A and B are shown apart, each in its own frame.
Chain A
Amino acid sequence: MKKYLLLLTLLSYSVAETYTFLVKPYHKEIELEAKIISEIAHASLGTEVKLFIPNISEIEKEVYAAHFTLSQTCEASNFVFVNKTVEHESLCGTSNRLFFTNNYRKLLSDKTYYGALFWNKSRPNIVFIQKRLEANRITLPQAFAPFVENF
């Protein structure tokens, strides 16, 4: 009986992730975000993506590593996703790399970023700015057309 209970407990833990977020921190949103960023980055670069996220958390590392080659430094990367508040000076130069943000206001105010993935009314929204795409010589597939804004 004791062995049975032990086995049952271990089995419960092994599949706990599928039904509870008490065992591991909940990261469904990060998962979704990573997938979208992956689509965007690959569509934008057309080469292998070396992703850099400033101040990346452990959970993000774990989730993003499944979709990207993570870069330890800004300099070694070709795609930077800024999803936290960071000083602009702490970031490396824009040559040979693309900058993406999770903040719509930042996208509007800072020309470094060519697009943003942000949560609007609890829904994921994507915006690319046409001029910045052109400046970065990015041609996105037709599927991204509804997300491109021509300011």
Chain B
Amino acid sequence: MGHHFTIKKPWYFLIPVLIVGSILALLLIATLRLEKNVEAKIVEISTSDVFSIAQNNATYIHTLLKESTHYVNDIRQNPALQKQIEKSLRTLLTPNIKYAYLLYKDAKGVFRFLSDASNSEEQAFVDQKFDIDSPQWLEIYTTKKPLLLHHTLLHQLSMSYLIPIMYENDVTLILAIDFSIQKVETINQLITTMQYSIIVVMVVIGLSILFSIIQAVRFKAVRKTAFTDKLTNVYNRNYLQKYEDFINLNDYIIATLDIDYFKKVNDSYGHDIGDKILKQVAHIILLIIRNHDDIAIRYGGEEFLILVKTNRNDHLNSLNVVERIFLAIQDHRFYISNDEYINITVSIGVNLVPNKSRTFKEAFKLADIALYNAKNKGRNTIELYDENENIAHTHFSLNDIKEAIEEKRIQCYYQKIVDTQTRELARYEALLRIVDKHHMMVTPDQILPTIKGTFILRNITKEVLSLCREQLLLNSNIMINVNLNPQDIIDDSILSILKTYALHDNIASRLGLEITETEEISNKNDAKKNLLMLKSLGYKIFIDDFGSGYSNFIYLAEIQTDYIKIDGTIIQKILDDKISFLLVKNIVAFAKEARIQVIAEYVSNEAIYEKIKSLGIEYSQGFLFSIPCDSTNIFTCKDI
């Protein structure tokens, strides 16, 4: 994609100008021809009647001479006949017909008058010589048909119309009428007006076309600016919104890319460095994707969407593009100062089969699920969307989830949290499950991306709370932790339910509230206030996944949390990764000082358990102690 919109090749403008010019030139030629045709037509229309009348006049003279054997002599010698002919010719005179006269050609080839309709001052005598103005006159003796002559040199006459009067198949007399210039001037005025109108219309059309071209070019430039992310120079979300319906899902694979721990980079080095890294990541993407084929879009803070052109039968090449982006970012040194650099990794989710989705949104969602899986698997990886693995999800639209709620197919599985020292049951964590229409169990990671940010999530929380309440009322000696989403803490309906549970059912002390700490919740005073209120009702607050994302120690103190659950991905690495071990050790030390109890998640083997135990972590949870079991097996669920 272009980074700037300067005119690199100005002849691109010349081409449309030349096209417009050529069209106008063709129009002009066509117009000139049209004008000629129109002029001829107007002349024909305006003179045809006159020609007919003149023809009638010639026929009349011919009739007068029907007894004659020598027309010229008979007219010369017969003044009465001369008068009749002159009278007949006079009927032809109008403001447009200036002269009407009868001629003959003598033996020397000189034209002479026989009769003239002009007034006495201008009237020619019989036998007076008449100098013809053009040799065209002589054509009438060969064609023997009426002849129209156009005058270009005479100032007062525009046309002459000659009608032959025959005697024994020879042209003996010529009846001539001369049109004044007035008629042609009127016609010319008409033509000129038409000409000007056409020229004006053409100029207007030409200017309009030119203006439209300029506007189109400008609009394209402005639109391109509106669709470009200013920071990274890749397309922005507007572009996606505008064109998502036009993307042919057969032509692309969809990759969603997220910069790992980008928030930490921003927090550690500042937003300027964060922006610089975003720019460099985008630059790497733009360098690797194929111009004119692939499309890069920044659709979130540190999230990019890459549409890689593909062949339906061979995704390897397009997948290779994604992999090269992944490796190039991994290998790149992102300088935070002149001599210091950091390495950045990305998680990428790829949907190889967008054509199996009905809409782009659906296809994009599947790539997003793959990205979600990539993050869950510890980040810095490319995850392909697996149709089989996510089959339940693919069938779980928002409507499906709504149906599942209505049909009571929401379930809770329960996993033990044990006392680390004694391995005795301390409490359970309730885990959301949905049974699909095929009786398959669907886990939250397959549902949450779909319902994130929708009211369905809140409804599911209500269902889960209701199920936990049932269990607590059924078994008075157990304690259960339930997971709440950050939005639940500020939702009045959820808070109202929790108040009811505390005041009427008296189960607050046995229902732990697990909340994932996020920046979103930390910055909301309402959330803090509500958490303190819930504590005052007797609920215990558990901060979930502590150490993985947004971990704010001040906040822990502010909300006076009772427990923190160290994120499972840290616990998993505690034996091999010194940083993870030191992180856990320090969290535990801080918690002891702050009188907060600690729970370790993902305790999956004895070695981890021993380490946890040695660090003095009070509670443990993981497959070492139990798998999540449904409510009917809550007590009989066997330890692994």
Residues of A within 8 A of B (CB): 28-29, 104, 120-127, 146-147, 149
Contacts and interface: CB of A to CB of B under 8 A. Distances in A.
The 4 lowest CB-CB distance pairs between A and B, nearest first, are: A122-B156, A125-B131, A123-B133, A121-B99
B131 A104 contact: no
Nearest to A123: B133
Q: Which of A104, A121, A124, A126 has the most CB of B within 10 A?
A: A121
B94 to A, nearest CB: 16
A122 B178 contact: yes
B613 interface: no
B99 A125 contact: no
Contacts of A124: 131
Contacts of B24: none
B110 interface: yes
Contact of B131 (A28, A29, A120): A120
Interface in B106-159: 108-110, 118, 124, 128-133, 154-157
Given A121-B101, A122-B178, A146-B108, A29 B130 contact: no
A146 B110 contact: yes
A29 B108 contact: no
Give the interface SS of chain B, mostly helix, strand, loop or mixed.
Answer: loop
A149 B112 CA distance: 12
B155 A123 contact: no
A117 to B, nearest CB: 10
Given A28-B155, A29-B155, A146-B108, A121 B129 contact: no
Contacts of B156: 122
B133 A120 contact: no
Given A121-B101, A122-B98, A122-B178, A147 B131 contact: yes
A121 B155 contact: no
B110 A121 contact: no
Nearest to B108: A146
A124 B110 CA distance: 15
A122 B110 contact: no
B112 to A, nearest CB: 10
Given A29-B155, A146-B108, A146-B110, A121 B178 contact: yes
Contacts of A125: 129-131
Given A121-B99, A121-B178, A127-B129, 20 more contacts: A28-B155, A29-B155, A104-B128, A120-B128, A121-B118, A121-B157, A122-B98, A122-B99, A122-B154, A122-B157, A122-B178, A123-B131, A123-B133, A123-B157, A124-B131, A125-B129, A126-B131, A146-B131, A147-B131, A149-B129
Nearest to B133: A123
Given A146-B108, A146-B110, A123 B154 contact: yes
Given A28-B155, A29-B155, A121 B130 contact: yes
Interface string B413-438: 00000000000000000000000000
5 contacts: A28-B155, A120-B124, A121-B99, A122-B155, A146-B110
Contacts of A149: 129
A24 B294 CA distance: 75
Contacts of A29: 155
A9 B515 CA distance: 89
Contacts of B130: 120-121, 125
Nearest to A122: B156
B159 to A, nearest CB: 12
Contacts of A147: 129, 131
Contacts of B109: 146
A126 B156 CA distance: 19
Name the residue among A122, A125, A127 with the largest chain B CB count within 10 angstroms: A122
Nearest to A150: B108
Nearest to B154: A122
